A and B are shown apart, each in its own frame.
Chain A
Amino acid sequence: MIQDKSIGRRIFHAANYTILILTSLLCILPFINLLAVSFSSSAAVSAGNVAFWPVDFTTKAYEFALTGGKFFTALWISVQRVVLGTLINLILIVLTAYPLSKSNLKVTGRNVYMAFFIITILFNGGLIPTYLVVVKTGLIDSIWSLILPGALPVFSMIILMNFIRGLPEEIEESAIIDGAGPFQILTRILLPLLKPALATVGLFSIVGHWNSWFDGIIYMNNPVNYPLQSYLQTLLQSFEQIMLKSGTDYTQLLSMMNARTGRAAQMFLGAIPILLVYPFLQKYFTKGLVLGSVKG
């Protein structure tokens, strides 16, 4: 490609970079502000003096969030949930997406199954019926209540299905000629080809499991069993309560932190694991999405 050095081109590039840099700043600055707030003293934050660098550096907010070991218990539950949940999600996604990627002629009743799945995107049972099902099936108060109700993410399944359809059919045909059955085709031929798409839907599952907090709160009968996000959520709420009915032990803490610094610290703690995972999966992320969407 020949470099175009015309003035118009240069202006375009300059504008392009400026806009992109501004957009990235727009994304990252709130996060830096959050970090600065979480390390600042209560008074400085309340007075609105904190921008992008901590004022009166303190780690009190983090100490508050991490004391009592509850944070780590909750973290461990979250990790279990993410690993187990994502694994089950991926297995079910692959097992459903592959047959459904075939036409109605090859798989009898394919369209009925498809409608069956699509309905769950359009409608859901609502909070109370779902809760009743979880109670009556005996899942309540166990980690399975967080995993099984959403064991098959239909949207991810459709992405993967479209991805499979985008693969040349000849690959599969040649495998059939070599004597491979459907299961062998899936494990030997398709799975290696599906890696980018699996990374994409896997990331969806990881983020989804990591961030959801409400199911933890309603399905668990004791806060000891809360996953991390549910725990952080209740910590935020109880914080206000502590502020108003401050016991003697908290007066010391009060002078160094308040609800906003505490909240900032917790948001940051909650975001760290996702920040760590993201860079490694990101390269698949856009690729998988775009590839899946080419063939409708």
Chain B
Amino acid sequence: MTKKKTAYFLSLCMSMVLLAACSSNGSPGNGANPTAAANNNATTVSNEVDSSDPAFSAYKDPVTIHTVTSEYPSAKYPEGDDITNNVWIDRYKEKYNINVVTDWVSDEYDTKLNLAISSNELPDVFRVNASQLQQLTEANMILDLTDVFDKYASDRLKGYMEADADSYESGKKDGQLYGIPQLHWGLIDQPDFMWIRNDWKEELGIKDPQTVEDLKNTALKFMEKHGGYGIAVDQTLDYLNLLAVSWNAHPDMWLEDGSGKLVYGSVQPEMKDALKEWAEWYKLGIIDPEFAIKDFSAMNADVVAGKVGMQPYYQWWGYNPGVDTVSNLGKDAIFYPYQLPSITGGEAKHSVFFANGSYIVVNKSFKNPEAVIKLLNDYAYIVDEGVGKESKETLSSLLDNDLAHVVGAFRVLNPNSDYEQFEAVSAALKSEDTSGLTTAGMWQKYNNSVEYIKNSTPSAVGDYLQQGAPRSAYSLSKQVLDSGNYIKTALWGATPEVLAGYGTTLDDILTEGFTKIIMGAENIDYFDTVVQNWKTAGGDDATEAVNAAFGK
């Protein structure tokens, strides 16, 4: 009796809570939109100082933009400045007559923005991630920027979009542009390598690995001489998986299976071949026998302590664990990157993942969307064309001390910047002519590389191994990009909700099953069982959703 009463009471409470939540979310959202549409085209036309140059013209009457942003912790401001009030904000005001007002600053940007979205307190211009873009577009809360972008974007800015057309497309819905992708430093940071400890390699006179067999033999020789195991990996299999491309497998990536259907790389037969070989390696002691209990820092601890000489790793090995390795073991213990060979001969085809992190969007009620494009043009101009046209002092005050990164939503990156940076740095190091170094980033990489070459300063080894070394990560990545030896993921945009809804469950099933296979607890045919489990647990669902969203 009492139980029943309580149940009624509780369900009543629940429904009241739900009702309250619905009404508070619904009403303000409906109210705001009609006024927004009405305000859209009225003003602006005559407010340009020089209407023949819409991309860079200033306004006669000041225009105010409200935005939100996150802190950029390594930026060093002059006395009195901060993220809401700095050289860039001054420049917008002086050069374009645009006032940029920051409503809030948060380091939990996504959380805070989600709250702002649900309470309908959106700023005029802000940056969002791919799934927020999707939500806002569907909720009709942001402006269609197609025409504004066409009319106001500078040729340079349009050039960025051409350079990464896939990301540009991902900002569109039904052919209309809603989010301007902020792009990235370049795909050059994506290829991965086998990093091999140099003093061990030279001491044993081992040649550069050309085949998968060579990798295996190098590891065996290291073990013979130095004991321990051969290759450092961790329990997530993220690092071991970097090697999978050698077997033409592309774990964690959605790709076309040849018949036009999109499939998940981790469950393809190529992955089975890779696992079969890894199980063999594990038996031989090449793969760390304790990998299943090692996390990222435990894996790197063995590298830094000098217990192991090979590690499949990203291009930033030099920063972490490189700095610690060199300061702990001396400069001879430096690791160099090597291209991953393919079992079918030649070099492995690399995996390239979705690279665009955020999009610039404009609130539906904002009247001057073109003001944003002007600021984007300006940023691209300063970064790419500033040298020679602007004074050294101006450029330095805008770009140095990481102030180039404090602009929040008001920039689009040049997707070739890391590529160009690497070319300039390596050319300058070769010719000792520094006239080609045009950006602060180039100078930093160059100076640190020189510092490492001259003094072997451990803290400079990161930049050296990424760009400055004769055998640097980017020199190998450049070959990959130049020869087009990579596959791009088919999932170039927001992860479909169905897939995101599974969280890590699906991947956990695979990681657990693969770990068993590698450790020999199950034989290789268990792979088919794991894949079956993955499919029934939601893999089929997810595949369908991905095909629906990205299939052709």
Chain B residues contacting A49 (CB-CB under 8 Å) are 305
- Known contacts A42-B327, A223-B106; 9 additional CB pairs below 8 A are A43-B304, A48-B302, A218-B106, A234-B108, A239-B73, A241-B74, A243-B319, A250-B74, A260-B297
Q: Is B13 an interface residue (CB 8 A)?
A: yes
A47 to B105, CA, bound (A): 37
Chain B residues contacting A141 (CB-CB under 8 Å) are 104
Chain A residues contacting B121 (CB-CB under 8 Å) are 135
> CB distance A132 to B24 under 8 Å?
yes
Q: Is B135 an interface residue (CB 8 A)?
A: no
Q: Is A293 an interface residue (CB 8 A)?
A: no
Output the nearest chain B residue to A44 by Cβ-Cβ distance.
B328
| Listed stretches B111-119, B202-210, B426-434, B519-527; interface member | B111-119
User: Out of A126, A244, A248, A249, which one reaches B21, CB within 8 Å?
Assistant: A126
Output the nearest chain B residue to A252 by Cβ-Cβ distance.
B459
Chain A residues contacting B457 (CB-CB under 8 Å) are 251, 255
> CB distance A255 to B14 under 8 Å?
no
Chain B residues contacting A127 (CB-CB under 8 Å) are 115
> CB distance A254 to B74 under 8 Å?
no
Q: Is B444 an interface residue (CB 8 A)?
A: yes
Subset of 25 A-B contacts with CB under 8 Å: A46-B324, A48-B302, A122-B10, A123-B17, A125-B20, A126-B21, A129-B20, A131-B115, A131-B119, A132-B24, A135-B119, A217-B112, A218-B106, A220-B106, A223-B105, A234-B107, A238-B71, A247-B74, A247-B402, A248-B444, A249-B74, A249-B76, A251-B459, A254-B459, A255-B323
Chain A residues contacting B405 (CB-CB under 8 Å) are 245
> CB distance A245 to B74 under 8 Å?
yes
User: Out of A131, A132, A241, which one reaches B73, CB within 8 Å?
Assistant: A241
Q: Is B447 an interface residue (CB 8 A)?
A: yes
A196 to B76, CA, bound (A): 50
Q: Is A221 an interface residue (CB 8 A)?
A: yes
Identify whether the interface residues of B are mostly helix, strand, loop, or mixed. Answer: helix
Output the nearest chain A residue to B300 by Cβ-Cβ distance.
A46
A252 to B108, CA, bound (A): 28
Chain B residues contacting A218 (CB-CB under 8 Å) are 106, 108, 111-112, 115
Output the nearest chain A residue to B305 by Cβ-Cβ distance.
A47
Residues 102-141 of B, flagged 1 when their CB comes within 8 A of A and 0 if not, give 0111111001100100110100000000000000000000
Known: A43-B304, A244-B316. A251 touches B71 (CB 8 A): no
> CB distance A217 to B21 under 8 Å?
no
Q: Is A286 an interface residue (CB 8 A)?
A: no
Tell me the residues in window 9-45 of chain B with beta carbons closer than 8 Å to chain A beta carbons. 10, 13-14, 17, 20-21, 24-25
A107 to B536, CA, bound (A): 59
Binding site for B on A (CB under 8 A): 41-44, 46-49, 119, 122-123, 125-129, 131-132, 135, 141, 217-218, 220-223, 234-235, 237-239, 241-252, 254-255, 258, 260
A130 to B497, CA, bound (A): 25
Q: Is B301 an interface residue (CB 8 A)?
A: yes
Q: Is B167 an interface residue (CB 8 A)?
A: no
Task: Tell me the minimal C-beta distance from B547 to chain A in angstroms.
Answer: 32
> CB distance B105 to A222 under 8 Å?
yes
Chain B residues contacting A244 (CB-CB under 8 Å) are 316, 319
Output the nearest chain B residue to A213 by Cβ-Cβ distance.
B108
> CB distance B324 to A47 under 8 Å?
yes
Known: A123-B13, A243-B319, A251-B459. A234 touches B328 (CB 8 A): no
Chain B residues contacting A43 (CB-CB under 8 Å) are 304, 323-324, 327-328, 458
Tell me the residues in window 65-110 of chain B with beta carbons closer than 8 Å to chain A beta carbons. 71, 73-74, 76, 84, 103-108
User: Out of A221, A222, A251, which one reaches B448, CB within 8 Å?
Assistant: A251
> CB distance A234 to B71 under 8 Å?
yes
A247 to B119, CA, bound (A): 37
Top-4 shortest CB links A-B:
A221-B104, A234-B107, A238-B73, A48-B301
Task: Tell me the minimal C-beta distance from B194 to chain A in angstroms.
Answer: 21
Chain B residues contacting A251 (CB-CB under 8 Å) are 448, 457, 459-460
Chain B residues contacting A42 (CB-CB under 8 Å) are 323-324, 327
A221 to B66, CA, bound (A): 14
> CB distance A221 to B73 under 8 Å?
no
Q: Is B401 an interface residue (CB 8 A)?
A: yes
Tell me the residues in window 299-349 of chain B with beta carbons closer than 8 Å to chain A beta carbons. 300-302, 304-305, 316, 319-321, 323-324, 327-328
Chain B residues contacting A125 (CB-CB under 8 Å) are 17, 20-21
> CB distance B14 to A123 under 8 Å?
yes
Chain A residues contacting B76 (CB-CB under 8 Å) are 247, 249
Q: Is B298 an interface residue (CB 8 A)?
A: yes
